[in-house]
Homo-oligomer: A and B are copies of this chain.
Amino acid sequence: MVLAVDKRIGKHAILLVLQSEAEESISLPPHWKYCTGKVGAMDSQKVVSAIETAAKREGIIRTNGYRETHALYHAIMDALSGVTRGQVQLGSLMRTVGLRFAIVRGNPYEEMEEGDWIAVALYGTIGAPVRGSEHETIGLGINHM
């Protein structure tokens, strides 16, 4: 199993999330799926929920069954680790986020047997609940589907 150079699923997800909505254009490998969205919250639950809802609504993961929801959930948790860097908490630590997210699904490996994987990328700001009192933050979670 080797990560194919032009099928870096995490890199694709990060590039998608870094684009402004206007400029969003990226050429993904054939048969890959993706969606993007935005969420602002002092409540980490709201971030999880926004990403799961988008993934199901846009057909990135199956809406019934648990398997794909489970894969996505842990990818989101990993992405939130990068965003929060230590404690996966927002409002309870007096901070808020304004995030764009990208979800990409596909097989990043040369071998077909590796099957589908999912990448969740988050980019935006984190800081005090005061306009401007914030800096950038990023997170990436990758999981097998």
Which residues does A use to contact B, with CB under 8 Å? 1-3, 8-11, 14-15, 18, 43-45, 48-49, 52, 64-67, 69-71, 73-74, 77-78, 81-83, 85-89, 91-95, 108-109, 111, 113-115, 117, 119, 121, 123, 125, 127-128, 131-144
Contact = CB atoms under 8 A, between A and B. Distances in A.
A40 to B, nearest CB: 15
A82 B138 CA distance: 8
Contacts of A88: 86-87, 89, 93
Identical chains bound together, number: 6
14 contacts: A1-B64, A3-B134, A3-B136, A10-B123, A14-B123, A44-B94, A45-B92, A66-B132, A67-B113, A70-B143, A81-B82, A81-B85, A81-B86, A89-B92
